[in-house]
Structure 1
Amino acid sequence: MKLTRGRIALLVGLAGLLLLVAVVVSPLLLMSMPSFLSNGGTTVDCDDQAQVEEVSDSASSDIPDDYLELYKEYGKKIGVQWNILAAVGKRETDHGRSDLPGVKSGTNHAGAAGPMQFLISTWGGKARVPMSSTFNGYASDGDGDGVGDVYNPADAILGAAKMLKRNGAPENVRQALFVYNRAWWYVDQVEEIARKYAKSGEVKVPPQASEDCDEPLVEAAPSDVVAKILQFALAQRGKPYLWGGTGPDAFDCSGVIYAAYRSAGLSIPRTTFGQWPFGVKIKAGEEQPGDLVFFNSGPGTAPNNPGHVGLVVSKGKMLEARCRLCGPIKVTSYQARQNRVGFTRPLQNPAVLEQLKKLQNPAL
């Protein structure tokens, strides 16, 4: 087609009109666009209550009522997805309904027992472990009778929740499932069952594990100094645990806290053993972001000499570098954690108060 001056003018006019329409309409399209399209395909609600996964019709019809309540109770208490717990129970023994060897008594050919199919060696060396004894395993007392019974659903499900938590759940649930039964086909099968059990059809990760929830935590900090500490600490999430590590690529539990305080211009002791007596003791319930929470955990530790520490980022939540096999640095719940010793506030240590004065007035 031959372009005359008239046709050229007409085309230029049409192009301008289309550009005008795009400028006017595009904001309207953006405003009406589903929110999941604006942040990479997912939405995150930072309200924990909004993240409680509802039970699907499939789960309600398939899971016995008593088992369902136990999955939900101990999933919430320990901090793992209840539908993952339920999927393990389904895959292992059909929620205790299987008549195969080892489910209700004895062991199967691999030495596993109970509704969640624990190896007796990982449970505590025997099927029924008195909780007053010293043992090295996942034996748990879910029904409060003083005994960890591998055949008891409450005990077994609580033990399974602890095992999944210990090995990376809820954030790295595939790793946790792989440790539970070392086969990726098993991991895939359990996740598929878990999706069917959830009303949303998903395996959700708690919001505290999402970077989308960092900003509210930082904004809620009680001071600018604490905001800097939290901002640094949260940015280390996902990095590996390394004993003695102080960054920048890996940290141990006290190392990431030490580095976070340094990022705000403050110096505190490097190790957990030094950090415990350093801060001013805070009563449980009065802790706030920037405080430290300690646990009687690890070799050579005691109730008055804790060996593990986390950084409080909000009420009930802490950032921690737990151990090499526990997955990467992450935000977890400290409320349900056993062996909690107490809280301290390093910002009230006299030496830190002097450092704060100098930061506020460098001329001093």
Structure 2
Amino acid sequence: MKTAFIKTVLASAAVLVTTQALAEITVGVSIPMTGPASGLGIPMNNGLKMWPATVAGEKIKLVILDDATDPSKGVQNVRRLTTEDKVDLIMGSGATPVAIAMAAVAAETSTPQLALSPIQLPPGKDTWSFRLPQSNGVMANAMVSHMLKGGVKTVAFIGYADAYGEGWLQELSPRLEKAGIKLLVTERFNRADTSVTAQALKVAGANPDAVVVVASGSGAAMPQLAVLERGFKGRIYQTHAAASKDLMRVGGKAVEGTFVTAGPVVVAEQLPATHPSRELGIKFNAAYEQIHGPGSRNQFAAHSYDGYLMLEQVVPVALKKAKPGTPEFRAALKEALESAKGLAVTHGVLDYTPTDHWGFRPDTGVVMKVVNGEWKLEN
């Protein structure tokens, strides 16, 4: 009888241990580690590798898949993550068209998505999607303000013929109009293009005061170089998808003087002492550059690491309502994100609400200038 009792206790303990092991928080990630947007996905993966093993006392498991910058692959990844891996949270993609495709599956499966690109979705279609990067509008605020200070009166646009390029054009155009800055030319190209000669001729031929290049990673250098080779002498602005040293590596001395919008983490040491992201950014940059070398910091690795900083603040709230691995926990995470205020991360402060899943405050963006191959804070 005593032996049977002991066996029962041991069996119960085994079940308890197994249950506790299964209660870990599982995060499914789909990022472009290959393909045209790999310059974003690789540092994002590096940022994920810096996540601690636990969050709010719970073990955290990352399942990371490559979407190869392909929307259909991104959808395939998310379906696997939600059905086979039973994830509590989705992250990705770093490529905007892929992240948009993933958002549909997130909504269908009622799984929170932390998008790693500034995805623009129709009203009501982002119920389960939250953006970690700053919106194109937030960055356009900083860019247009800088243009006004510099006396810019006319602009030409050359950008991706996809959701990222279109999103930037939609946000930039009304801000330029309101500021009294005329948009002279709008040219588009595909991510996989190896030449933009025709587009660059039209942009340079318009002779604007400034050119806005909307591209990502090392690919952002190509259109800039093409415009410069055709005699353009004015200002060139790049977006936050180009906020990495890949721009300098590919463009060399030709990109000196380029203005690039970015999140504050890239120039954390140059921020005012009172900035809420200064210390977080300095700490992250030091840790990242210790692993990947001086000057390796970038916008994208910090976005994926910000996912952890956010979870640190919302997981304890969600755990009060449900256990990981359940639909109730996924719903509790969504509710915690929507109700949290002042979530400080390396890129700024997030204030999500039930009707606003963009989060970052309008003045979050900064403008940097390439000076001697380094980033210099402009504003």
TM range (shorter): under 0.3
Q: Relative contact order (C-alpha < 8 Å, sep 6+): which is higher? A: 2
Larger radius of gyration: 1
TM-score calculated relative to the size of structure 2: 0.27
TM-score calculated relative to the size of structure 1: 0.27
* Greater strand proportion: 2
